[in-house]
Amino acid sequence: MTKDQPKSPILNTTQEAIIAAKTMLRLARFGAIAGLDPDTGSPVVTRTNVATTARGNPIFLMSDLAAHTKAIKNDPRTSLLVGEPGKGDPLAHPRLTLIGQTTPVPVTNDAEKTLENSLRLRYLNRHPKAELYNQLPDFFLYELNIERALFNAGFGKAYELTGDELCLKETDTADLIEAEAGIISHMNQDHRDAIENYAVNLCGKKPSQSKVEWRMTGCDPQGIDMMQGDQVARLEFEVPCYTANDVREALVAFAKQAK
């Protein structure tokens, strides 16, 4: 950079920035998704509910009748903004813009149908009220394959990230995808007290209120996702867990810490 060139606002990527961005994406319940209008080429932006695959790509349950879905089916280039503003200036709070290609989750063979079912379960665990839309014939599951991302962690803290930095490899998630539904069902049915302790004592969240309890909604090699009403929490594993037995050992260790 010469003295006549302005200083770049983009900082060198750090491990802390990568972890913060990945956590923000895993915790996201909604975002603003943008595609390109097929008639004019202008951006079309709308709010959508968000969940993630085990790898970390965002997934959406969208109607083929919606304008933004038609735009994405015509041109898969998409961006998604996540990050919840808090008190005060919305621009003072972190946000993450993901850029990539959004395509329908394929279901042309048995293996793809099995994967689609597991992704649909992850989505419905995060958004149980979406079960109504899940029954309608025009709603399909879409996945945004992240190519790059822009992470603004606050004033003067801007980073450019790659899809590989945000997402796990498919080979890292294959075994756990098959076991995930059983893990979640077992924990939510038999270990509700442990999940409560994870959320309250390890994640600093508010205790369950009335009949709405903390429950596990997802499990991937890097951690577990939990939800209670509008509250969400994520508990990261100390080391990656690639099998059901790895997860079991990690959850037992968390239970001991959380008491």
Q: Above 90 in pLDDT, residue 137?
A: yes
What's the CATH number where 191 sits? 3.20.180.10
Q: Above 80 in pLDDT, residue 13?
A: yes
Whether residue 211 sits in one domain with residue 137 = no
Distance CA 163, CA 56 (A): 9
Distance CA 153, CA 160 (A): 11
Whether residue 121 sits in one domain with residue 1 = yes
Whether residue 211 sits in one domain with residue 147 = no
pTM exceeds cut of 0.85: yes
Whether residue 128 sits in one domain with residue 45 = yes
**Looking at the 3D structure of the chain, how many domains does it have?**
2
Q: What is the pLDDT of residues 21-48, one digit of tens each?
A: 999 999 999 999 999 999 999 999 999 9
Whether residue 157 sits in one domain with residue 174 = no
Whether residue 6 sits in one domain with residue 100 = yes
Q: Are 107 and 116 in contact (CB under 8 A)?
A: yes
Whether residue 109 sits in one domain with residue 24 = yes
pLDDT of residue 2: 55
Three-state SS letters, 69-110: HHHHHHCCEEEEEECCCCCCCHHHCCEEEEEEEEEECCCCCH
Q: Which residues contact 128 (CB under 8 A, 6 or more apart)?
A: none
Q: Above 60 in pLDDT, residue 226?
A: yes
Whether residue 202 sits in one domain with residue 105 = no
The dihedrals phi and psi of 91, each to the nearest 5 degrees, come to: -75, -5
Which residue range(s) make up the domain with 142?
Answer: 1-167
End-to-end C-alpha distance for the chain, whole angstroms? 54
